[in-house]
Structures are given as structure tokens and as C-alpha cells.
Amino acid sequence: MNVVISGSGLFTPEQSISNDELVAAFNTYVERHNQAHQAEIDAGTREPLQPSSSEFIVKASGIHSRYVIDKKGVLDPEIMAPRLPERPDDELSILAEIGAKAARQALEQAGRRADEVDLVIVACSNLQRAYPAIAIEIQQELGCQGFGYDMNVACSSATFGIGTAADAIRSGSATRALVINPEICSGHLEFRDRDCHFIFGDVATAVLLEREDACQTDGAFRLLGTHFKTRFSNNIRNNFGFLNRTAPEARDNRDKLFRQEGRKVFKELLPMVTSTIDEHLEKAGFAASDVKRFWLHQANLTMNLFAAKKLLGREPSAEEVPIVLDRYANTSSAGSIIAFHLHSADLQSGERGLLSSFGAGYSVGSILLEKV
């Protein structure tokens, strides 16, 4: 039985922060911080903080701007974090709200009603609470049937979620599945750390999966296969969790937000990504040259161009490897789905594309698709 992605959706926050705006806020914070600790810096007992620069950010990452849900808090040198007031339990939570917006678009594109969906998976890096599942809240908000659950494979959550949903449809435990990726990455980012303050943005994406023989829309994408790899690494890590309160002395330490060893990640993850995709294509009986488009995880421009060059054995064209990180930044699991949503409509019937995620775990996901 063939499974297709019959619709996709994208929610983009209204507010965007340019590198210059971000750097201005960061450098004001640095100036104030250094002034406040001038005596220790002069005595040589404390290192002064170093300023950031837009040139570095563009050169190191390819990011020019990022969308965020709360720009004001992030750019306030006294706060340097989004401010998203807590909502009462009887109000829709913010993750469910943005996820539902993306999901409604995916349903509309697929020509489906919410009550025809019987599986809702929320797959993302950061879930805003322990339980009940955000997926079940979205199930209720949209009016879906069946069941829902949350899953987290960090930046690979979306592709792993698509694989899980496709398996559920093939096995008969579901007939139609929404895989939703609400990513409020600004919430786990230390905007006071110049090594990473520029990396992330906020967004939500969604795809609808169903049986090809039941699909009602033109332009669906058939899943030709999936391939996944994980290997443990501490190089991208966030120790936030429900046990933090059991060690109050360390509760607010730096390790309770995103941190990474960017250089090591680059060096170790890139070969894992290209070998996983190579293995996948070989398993499916295709060569990289049979793939018209690579919708890659959007973390770093150089990394994506490197990966595509390694796979194709030549420089990729801009059309072959669409880049959205220049204005969305790294949106964790949603990145490759944004690229797919914005850059898939022009593919012709029979043309193939590959969705690939990579990130913490380490984790790599690969989904081979063919336009129906």
C-alpha cells in the first residue's frame, strides 16, 4: 500500500529580527555586563564578554534574520528572552495554537476535513509541558478522531514523525495522520551567549499523510521509503527536565538551555548525514542524480551545500537545495518541512525529492518522495 503526503502547512510568526537588531541588543547587554563587572575585569579575575557581529553570523551560518513570537523580550538587553505569559488551563496552549494553524493549512491543501483524521502526532524538539500531550489538545481543537501523542527526536522529530505515521497507516492502526511541528526555539535559546544567540527562530509546520488510493488532491508526494539513524552524542544537549527541581542548586545553570559544540557537530554529523542518505538511496535502488530536490534540515548554509555536493559529486544548484534558513534561521525539526512546503509545487509527476533532518541525538532522518 502506498502512503502519500497530500498536504503541508506553515505558520510563520509576524515578527522578525534582523542580525543587526539582534547584535545591537546583544552588544548593549555585553557593554552593560562588562561595565557592571569592571573592577573584576581590571583585576584580571573575570574575562570580559566579547561583542557579536552580523558579519560573523552570516559568514558562519548563512542566517540573515529569524521569525519570533515575541521580539520585544528578545531585544530587551535587560531580558534577552521571549516573554510568553502563561495561559490558564482552559485556554489553548501556545504550542497547540501555532501547531493547529499549520495543521489547518495542511488539511486545506489536501482537501480533507479534520474529522477524517484519526492520528495526530506532535513531533518537535521542545514540548511546553509534561502532559497531557499537545497532540491530544490539537486533536480536540481541530476536531480529529482517533488518537494523538507527542514525540521528540530533537531536530529530526518531523522526519521520524512522518516515518511513524506512515507505518501506522500501512499497519492499519490509522487511516489519515497529521504530523505537526510547533517549534518555539526562542524559548530554549540563551540569547546572552554569542556562540549561539543567532541560531534559532520560531515557526510551526504540518503535513497530512494518507493512503494514495484515498487521496483526493493533485500534487501529492508518494513515500518511496524511509531511513533513520541515531548515535549518542553530547555535542548538542539541553539538560532541562522534570528532575531539575530535585537539584535546586543547579536548576538555572547554563546547561538547562540549548548548547552545542558547533565545530564538532559539523565535523561528526555531516558524514553521518551523507552516509545515511547514500545508504537510503542504495536501499531504494536510486542514485543521488535521480533526486531532483533535497529538502535538507536548515541549520547551516555551508553544511547543506557541503552535504549536497558530497551526495551529487558536483556543486548543487540553488534549485536543487532550497535554503530557507537565511530568513527563518534554524527552526529545528520544522526546517526541512518549510523547505518542502515552499519549494515542492513545481516538481513534475514522477520527479523525486528527499527530505532530510539531522541534529541532536545524533539523529538523521531521510524520507524519499516522488510526485504522484
Residues near ligand COA (CB under 6 A)? 52-53, 56-57, 60-61, 155, 194-195, 236, 260, 262-263, 265-266, 299-300, 303, 330, 359
d(CA 352, CA 372): 10
Q: Point out the catalytic residue in the list 124, 155, 185, 215.
A: 155
Nearest residue to 33 via CA among 20, 17, 46: 46
Least distance (Å) from ligand COA to the CB of residue 53? 5
Which of residues 239 and 289 has its CB atom nearest to ligand COA in the complex? Answer: 239
Q: Tell me whether residue 144 is one of the annotated catalytic residues.
A: no
Residue 314 near residue 265 (C-beta atoms within 8 A): no
Residue 126 and residue 188 in contact, taking contact as beta carbons nearer than 8 Å: yes
- Minimal distance, residue 33 CB to ligand COA, in Å: 15
Give me the numbers of helices (H) and strands (E) for the chain, helices first please. 11, 13
* Count of beta carbons in the 10 Å neighbourhood of residue 139: 26
Say which amino acid occupies 162.
I
Closest separation in Å from C-beta 310 to ligand COA: 15
What secondary structure, in 3-state letters, does 163-183 show? HHHHHHHHHCCCCEEEEEEEE
C-alpha to C-alpha distance for 61 and 326, rounded to whole angstroms: 9
Nearest-approach distance from CB 23 to ligand COA, in angstroms: 8
d(CA 188, CA 200): 9
The whole-angstrom separation of Cα 120 and Cα 97 is 14
Amino acid at residue number 38:
Q
Q: Please state, in angstroms and rounded to a whole number, the distance separating the CA atoms of residues 352 and 222.
A: 9
Between 226 and 330, CB nearer to ligand COA: 330
Pairing of strands 202-211, 363-371: unpaired
Q: Please say which residue, 12 or 363, places its beta carbon nearer to ligand COA.
A: 363
Nearer to ligand COA, 149 or 266 (CB): 266
Residue nearest to ligand COA (CB): 262
For the bound state, the minimum distance from the C-beta of residue 232 to ligand COA, rounded and expressed in Å, comes to: 15
106 vs 155 by CB, closer to ligand COA: 155
What single-letter DSSP state applies at residue 81? S
To ligand COA, the closest distance from the beta carbon of 110 in angstroms equals 29
Query: What does the alpha-carbon distance between residue 181 and residue 173 come to, in Å, rounded to a whole number?
Result: 21
Contact 316, 308 (CB under 8 A): yes
CB closer to ligand COA out of 77 and 219: 77
Sign of the dihedral defined by the CA atoms of residues 259, 356, 99, 124, in that order: negative
Catalytically annotated residues: 155
